[in-house]
Amino acid sequence: MPLTRKAYRAAILHSIADPAEVGIEASYEYFEDGLLVVDGGKISALGHASDLLPTLPSDIEIEHYQDALITPGFIDTHIHFPQTGMVGAYGEQLLDWLNTYTFPCESQFGDKVHADEVADIFVKELLRNGTTTALVFGSVHPQSVNSLFEAAEKLDLRMIAGKVMMDRNAPDYLTDTAESSYVDSKALIERWHGKGRLHYAVTPRFAPTSTPEQLTLAGQLLTEYPDLYMQTHISENLKEIEWVKELFPERKGYLDVYDHYKLLGERSVFAHGVHLCDDECARLAETGSAISFCPTSNFFLGSGLFNLPMAEKHKLNVGLGTDVGGGTSFSLLQTLNEAYKVMQLQGARLSPFKSLYLATLGGARALRLEDKIGTLQPGSDADFLVLDYNATPLLSYRLKQANNIAETLFVLMTLGDDRTVQQTYAAGALVHQR
């Protein structure tokens, strides 16, 4: 157990604010020769090695990483655990992709043996990629959430998940009812929400697959329990948006459906939002809701380009999501590589420090967990990564040409992936060693 003090010496970088709010220079702290001290699963000190070393007891164990960068663990604000087996499915956009590939794959998660096996693969894959916290969709089966939380609990990970609620417009083998989804979600909340570092998210899949009765009960759960999360999808695909208009003709638009059923709030995270308008961004921001920006998925499913500058204009909380299996990589480094291209295609830029923010503190803020994760501030959970500058021959050669931490960071995000993550620590314990 990591209940003793230990120190880690390396170059250390973390976000401390949103570059959109404070400017790039004030948004991060970088220690070229830094020291991170961990005590009982929490960070107890961070600073320059030269300042901190004299303050430490002489017998403290110090791990010294050369040619490496310590950062906070990455935070994935949107991912589907039961889609692990269908990542990279060919040729369809959202609605056909769901029917052809997604629903059949998700149908297997009522089976405990299968769900346990995939939960193990999924959690290992998160950690291999440096993701220490994720907001996760299960399948419609409560078993999917039990398997995932059991796997996360063994490693004391901070994870948020929920059972999908969907009672229409999906195959019979994969639908619940408004009543059963309420009862099943409630049982999972009672069992898991607030246990260790686990949190529950009420999870209506998206407006088309829930009846008004089910959306009403989803809203009711949020009022019954404090601090519950809510996750769903919004305005990802143009055909989807037209469908929502047909299904809810009395509502002003897609967001208004969720607003009507009281699903907006400080712990509500809406995936995608590619086609949101100004008014919808303003309403999301006003209610403290967050968007999960999923660039890899938005490219892969041909959904469109997320307008990050518009979200920034409204001071909307934005986290980064892989959206596996619509997204094709568990790596938030690769997801940032795609995010950069989304901005380029809109004539804008994504600075490496804004990218770092999105993958760490921005995600933590979207999840209202910034006092616990997303930075390396003393008092935070000791969830951090060691990124290896020599992970591949090309990365090693390229980084030797880098002149400063901004360039190093950008190259890590364009060339880096799971191979770059040398160690992952959660609550001070080593949970992945490459």
Q: Which residues bind ligand GUN (CB under 6 A)?
A: 80, 94, 98, 102, 205-206, 233, 236, 297, 323, 326
Partner whose footprint covers residue 236, from Zn ion, ligand GUN, none (CB < 5 to 8 Å by kind): ligand GUN
Partner whose footprint covers residue 167, from ligand GUN, Zn ion, none (CB < 5 to 8 Å by kind): none
Phi then psi for residue 207, to 5 deg, are -50, -40
Closest distance to Zn ion from the beta carbon of 233 (Å): 5
Closest distance to ligand GUN from the beta carbon of 240 (Å): 7
Partner whose footprint covers residue 102, from ligand GUN, Zn ion, none (CB < 5 to 8 Å by kind): ligand GUN
CA distances from 247 to 28, 48, 420 (A): 45, 58, 45
State the Cα angle at 108 between 103 and 112, rounded to 5°.
145
The residue among 28 and 137 lying less far from ligand GUN, judged by its C-beta, is 137
For residues 383 and 132, give the distance between their C-alpha atoms in angstroms, rounded to a whole number: 7
The residue among 19 and 327 lying less far from ligand GUN, judged by its C-beta, is 327
Residue whose C-beta lies closest to ligand GUN:
326
DSSP string over 134-180: EEEE--SSHHHHHHHHHHHHHTT--EEEE-EE--SSS-GGG---HHH
The residue among 299 and 425 lying less far from ligand GUN, judged by its C-beta, is 299
Q: Look up residue 102 and give its DSSP letter.
A: I
State the Cα angle at 207 between 249 and 185, rounded to 5°.
140
Phi then psi for residue 69, to 5 deg, are -125, 125
Q: How many CA atoms lie within 13 A of 346 on its CB side?
A: 17
The answer to the question of residue 323 lying near Zn ion (CB under 5 A) is yes
Closest distance to ligand GUN from the beta carbon of 30 (Å): 35
The residue among 98 and 222 lying less far from ligand GUN, judged by its C-beta, is 98
The residue among 240 and 323 lying less far from Zn ion, judged by its C-beta, is 323
For residues 37 and 428, give the distance between their C-alpha atoms in angstroms, rounded to a whole number: 10
Partner whose footprint covers residue 283, from Zn ion, ligand GUN, none (CB < 5 to 8 Å by kind): none
The residue among 141 and 233 lying less far from ligand GUN, judged by its C-beta, is 233
Partner whose footprint covers residue 126, from Zn ion, ligand GUN, none (CB < 5 to 8 Å by kind): none
Is 214 in contact with 257 (CB distance < 8 Å)?
Answer: no
Closest distance to Zn ion from the beta carbon of 236 (Å): 8
Residue linked to tokens 């994760």: 373
Task: Give the interface with Zn ion as residue ranges (CB under 5 A).
Answer: 271, 323
